[in-house]
A and B are shown apart, each in its own frame.
Chain A
Amino acid sequence: MTNEISRRPFVKSLLDARPSGLAVVAGLGSPCWDVAAAGDHKHNMYIWGAMGGAAMIGYGLAQAQKERRVLVITGDGEMLMGMGAFSTIAWKPTPNLAILVLDNSRFGETGAQFTHTSGPTDLAAIAEASGIKSVRSVSTLEEVDGLKSFLFNEPGPVVAVAKIKYEKLKFVLPSSSGSYLKDRFRTALMGVGKATLP
């Protein structure tokens, strides 16, 4: 089946429906630009580097903010690099964590080389076999709507793999200052006092 999901409108429709308090961790490359394009938010943390880490960064955040829903939005390239995270998260699960993998089977930032998911590798199956109990794989627009309640409400950890179109899109850049992004994010969560003089 041809993948018909277009990443920008998909991520925008998801984040337009974000529950108040939702924290979003955007993985490096296109997921950062998608999340920025949907509209900046003080509860967004954009990860411009540390490839492979988005799921574990979200997991650490979920461990720290147990009452808050945490949504990681990342790509197949990053998730392939950090697959062990599925095992680590499944073993000590956090019910407030959701991971969305935007899987276009390409390394989009580096020349659109094919990733392993263009071949035999299935990230949803890997998540499941790693012990993640709630896993969904979607590739059609009809399935996309149901993802909102899955990602925002279903007891986690949940993993959704969305097979999306490969598209060459303009970058939409959020701030690249790690210290600004971190302080803004922490201030939004815990107030300036605790955020800057712990």
Chain B
Amino acid sequence: MEDNVWQKETFSALRRQGIDLVCHVPDAGHAKVIEMCEADNEVDCITCTSEEEGIHLLSGAWLGGRKGAMLLQSSGVGNIINALAMPNTCRIPILIIVTMRGEYGEFNPWQVPMGQGTPACLEAMGVRLYRAEEPGQVASAVENMARLAYDSQQLCAVLLSQELLGAKDFRELAK
């Protein structure tokens, strides 16, 4: 079976939607898409020191007419809340892809509060959500949330469930 199918399709979906500026604070669940962005000479792939930088970057890029997306982990959603004030009040499109932690099979209890709080925090800031539970849903979710964002000037998030990504087994890593 082919490897990294949903990741390849997701990358293609981003590129089809004209997204050529991708920023991230990395997460294992995003690793393959980040690699594909870095390997594509037409994509600027920017590593941020903290997630709010990414929202500011996308806001500024749209002021200049460029479409971007941000990849982050659910813990990083806590860092972007006030940064979302600008795209919200200016009606600037935003697309974020969030890998979920703190849910299905989580080992690390410190991930639970922000993971469980992620949907409510995003909704409170006016972000439209779509949650993908199956690998086959991811690319079409990304493509259609990119459309909703950029065609209809919305703040959009695709949440990738921990069941889809697979939970890290810390006990195995400690062996």
Residues of chain A in range 113-131 having any CB-CB distance to chain B below 8 Å: none
Which of A56, A60, A64 counts the most chain B CB atoms within 10 A?
A60
Could you give, for residues 36-56 of chain B, a 1 whenever the CB lies within 8 Å of some chain A CB and a 0 otherwise? 000000001011111011011
Nearest residue (CB) in B for A176 is: B89
Which of A25, A50, A84, A85 counts the most chain B CB atoms within 10 A?
A50
Closest 3 CB pairs of A and B: A60-B60, A64-B64, A84-B49
Given contacts A53-B83, A63-B44, A88-B47, contact A186 B53 (CB under 8 A): no
A179 CB-CB contact with B under 8 Å: yes
Could you give, for residues 31-66 of chain A, a 1 whenever the CB lies within 8 Å of some chain B CB and a 0 otherwise? 000000000000001010111111111111111110
Given contacts A84-B48, A198-B65, contact A49 B85 (CB under 8 A): yes
Contact: B90 with A64, CB < 8 Å?
A: no
Contact of A182 among B61, B63, B82, B151 (CB under 8 A): B63
A170 CB-CB contact with B under 8 Å: no
B21 CB-CB contact with A under 8 Å: yes
The answer for the CA separation of A88 and B50 in the assembled complex, in Å, is: 10
Nearest residue (CB) in B for A49 is: B85
A17 CB-CB contact with B under 8 Å: no
Contact: A52 with B63, CB < 8 Å?
A: no
Could you give, for residues 91-121 of chain B, a 1 whenever the CB lies within 8 Å of some chain A CB and a 0 otherwise? 1100000000000000000000000000000
Contact: B65 with A50, CB < 8 Å?
A: no
Please give the distance in Å from A91's CB to the nearest CB on chain B. 7
Contact: B44 with A47, CB < 8 Å?
A: no
Chain A contacts for B89, CB-based, 8 A: 49, 178-179
Could you pull out 10 A-B pairs where Cβ atoms are within 8 angstroms?
A: A49-B85, A52-B52, A57-B63, A60-B21, A88-B49, A91-B47, A178-B90, A178-B91, A190-B65, A194-B65
Contact: A185 with B49, CB < 8 Å?
A: no
Which of B56, B58, B61, B62 counts the most chain A CB atoms within 10 A?
B56
Chain B contacts for A195, CB-based, 8 A: 65
Given contacts A63-B21, A84-B49, contact A53 B86 (CB under 8 A): yes
Nearest residue (CB) in A for B49 is: A84
Contact: B47 with A56, CB < 8 Å?
A: no
Chain A contacts for B92, CB-based, 8 A: 182
Chain B contacts for A63, CB-based, 8 A: 21, 44, 46, 57, 60-61, 64, 66
Given contacts A47-B86, A63-B64, A84-B53, contact A57 B46 (CB under 8 A): no
Nearest residue (CB) in B for A179 is: B91
The answer for the CA separation of A57 and B63 in the assembled complex, in Å, is: 9
Chain B contacts for A57, CB-based, 8 A: 56-57, 59-60, 63, 86
Contact: A182 with B90, CB < 8 Å?
A: yes
A92 CB-CB contact with B under 8 Å: yes
Given A186-B63, A198-B151, 11 additional A-B pairs, CB 8 A: A49-B85, A57-B56, A57-B57, A57-B86, A60-B57, A60-B62, A62-B64, A85-B49, A92-B46, A178-B89, A179-B90
The answer for the CA separation of A59 and B19 in the assembled complex, in Å, is: 17
Chain A contacts for B52, CB-based, 8 A: 52-53, 82
Contact of A56 among B44, B56, B90, B91 (CB under 8 A): B56
The answer for the CA separation of A6 and B137 in the assembled complex, in Å, is: 57
